[in-house]
Amino acid sequence: MISALGRRLSRWSERYVPDPFVLVLVLTIITAVVALIFGAEVQGMSPVERAGAVGEYWFSRFYDVGLMRFALQMVLVLVLGHALAMSTPVQKAIRRLAQVVVTPGAAVVVVVLVACLASLIQWGLGAIAGAFMAREMGRAFAEQGRAVHYPLLGAAGYAGFLIWHGGLSGTAPVTVAQEEHDLIDVLGQIPVSETLFSELNLIVTGSLLVIIPLVFWLLTPKDPDEMVGMSASSIGHEGGFKIPEPSESAHPVVRVLESSRALNLVVGGAMLAILIGYFVDRGAAGWHLDSLNMMFLTLGILAHPSPSSYVAAIADGVRGAAGIVLQFPFYFGILGILAGSGMIGQIAEFFVTVSTEQTYPVFTFISAGIVNFFVPSGGGQWAVQGPVMMEAIEELGVAPHKAIMALAYGDAWTNMLQPFWALPLLGIMGLKARDIIGYTGLVFLISGPWIIFLLLVL
């Protein structure tokens, strides 16, 4: 039954799901129109004044300095994760694993587990490792003449984005663990021991690590004729990047330095020593976006055989960030409209009015999911929804760590419908968003009620 439902949803998405850039343009128009009509901050204005105000809200955030800093952090997360995933040790591990899997169902489960576990370490690594695991699994089956459903492998490679916010790079819990953050006066510093390593998160994330692979295993078609394999043109394409040869006109010392593993080891080793000292001194409070990016920069340098290799891997990763660079400003503009018009506050306040201490985490989860569909950025969403949520926490007496994790789960939940963060995977695998959203949409339908249940009983 699950497999048949997945096929129906997949056929629907193939017909109706647009390109991600088209989606952000449509979402921009919808948000602007709704804000013009219902925004609390534009009530009492004339139609012309409303249009001008909404336009100002949009433009004020489109290239906001703070948000652009966050965008650069997100690009670095993706690019540095890509460079690490492209290193020889990681690639060998991925290919070795892909070659030992026998059945299509097992192939999908392996891809899901790799994507999810990598996403819990760092979401950018999960995005890239899941994509490469899915691609190499498809290639291994195609080369051996065995059937496997390639679009389902792609969906499995994206599934890590359902649980990333409960992992070590989760924006909301990592942000409030910092010594300085926007809500420090209200919340104080909340260590990750109360959020990421809490009983709630261990149960929610642990159970999803069982449910997600099971759902994808059930989604695997039993009939080989129903499976869509990897395209013939992609089978022989190794992907990855080419390390440029040192210029013959360059000085011998320059050529040695550019191809030297020793330089990577010396610099990477020094960076690793600094990081170890930093985390020993700061402990769990040291986990934040900048330190995580520094960690993966360090590991990437150490894992590559030369500076030239690492530079080439970074350049290859930058291509995968093109969609983020193009679309992030539009999502920032949407965020500006939602915040400036008062709509995020209206959404959050509505859920406060219908909530109790027990049900508020559930409504936070739902509202975060709604906002994430329009603004697929954990950091951007936290920056605007966080202050409103804190007011509700004080009013209703909700445990702050539970509300923060409820927001984190909701933010990740609707990633299964919003293809923005699938852009790198789609490029690596040669798929379209409509190829995978039908399958991830079913995961969305199954996971939501389960998370709500756990928020109520834990």
pLDDT digits (tens, 9 = 90+) for 344-391: 778 777 877 888 888 999 998 998 898 888 888 776 667 667 777 777
Tell me the per-residue pLDDT of 441-450, one tens digit each, with 9 for 90 and over. Answer: 999 999 999 9
Q: What percent of the chain has pLDDT over 70?
A: 91
Question: What is d(CA 438, CA 369) in angstroms, rounded to the nearest whole number?
Answer: 18
Tell me the per-residue pLDDT of 73-129, one tens digit each, with 9 for 90 and over. Answer: 778 877 887 888 788 888 888 778 877 888 999 999 999 999 999 999 888 778 888
Q: For residue 31, what are its two tokens?
A: 């948000």
Q: Which amino acid is at 253?
A: V
pLDDT of residue 397: 84
Question: What is d(CA 392, CA 224) in angstroms, rounded to the nearest whole number?
Answer: 52
Closest CA to 88 of 254, 261, 237: 261
Packing angle of the helix pair 322-340, 360-374 (nearest 10 deg): 120
Question: What is d(CA 363, CA 351) in angstroms, rounded to the nearest whole number?
Answer: 6
Structure-model confidence comparison of residues 428 and 299, the more confident one = 299
Lowest mean pLDDT among 37-46, 85-94, 199-208: 85-94
> Which are the contacts of 382, defined by CB distance < 8 A and separation ≥ 6?
171, 172, 175, 407
Q: For residue 253, what are its two tokens?
A: 């010392």
Highest average pLDDT, of 48-57, 224-233, 313-322, comes from 48-57
* Mean pLDDT, all residues of the chain: 86
Q: For residue 346, what are its two tokens?
A: 């209206």
Q: HEC states along 90-122?
A: HHHHHHHHHHHCCCHHHHHHHHHHHHHHHHHHC
Question: What is d(CA 35, CA 43) in angstroms, rounded to the nearest whole number?
Answer: 10
Helix (H, G, I), strand (E, B) or coil at 64: coil
Q: What percent of the chain has pLDDT over 90?
A: 40
Tell me the per-residue pLDDT of 230-250, one tens digit each, with 9 for 90 and over. Answer: 876 555 444 556 676 666 667
Closest CA to 213 of 144, 167, 162: 162
pLDDT of residue 428: 80
pTM (2 d.p.): 0.81
Q: Which amino acid is at 347?
A: I
Question: What is d(CA 304, CA 21) in angstroms, rounded to the nearest whole number?
Answer: 34
Q: Give the phi and the psi of residue 260 in degrees, each rounded to 5.
A: -90, 125
Structure-model confidence comparison of residues 239 and 253, the more confident one = 253
Q: For residue 34, what are its two tokens?
A: 């709704």
What are the start-end ranges of the H helices in 341-377? 343-353, 360-374
Question: What is d(CA 186, CA 285) in angstroms, rounded to the nearest whole number?
Answer: 18
Q: Is 251 left (phi over 0), alpha (psi -120 to 50) or beta?
A: beta
Residue 264, Cβ density class (10 Å: 0-12 exposed, 13-18 middle, ≥19 buried): buried
pLDDT of residue 310: 93
Q: For residue 1, what are its two tokens?
A: 């039954």
pLDDT of residue 384: 64
Question: What is d(CA 423, CA 245) in angstroms, rounded to the nearest whole number?
Answer: 30
| Average pLDDT for 405-431 | 89
Question: What is d(CA 416, CA 400) in angstroms, rounded to the nearest whole number?
Answer: 26
> Which are the contacts of 302, defined by CB distance < 8 A and separation ≥ 6?
264, 265, 268, 269, 272
pLDDT of residue 447: 97
Q: Which amino acid is at 180?
A: E
Structure-model confidence comparison of residues 259 and 280, the more confident one = 280
Helix (H, G, I), strand (E, B) or coil at 442: helix
Closest CA to 218 of 414, 439, 14, 450: 439
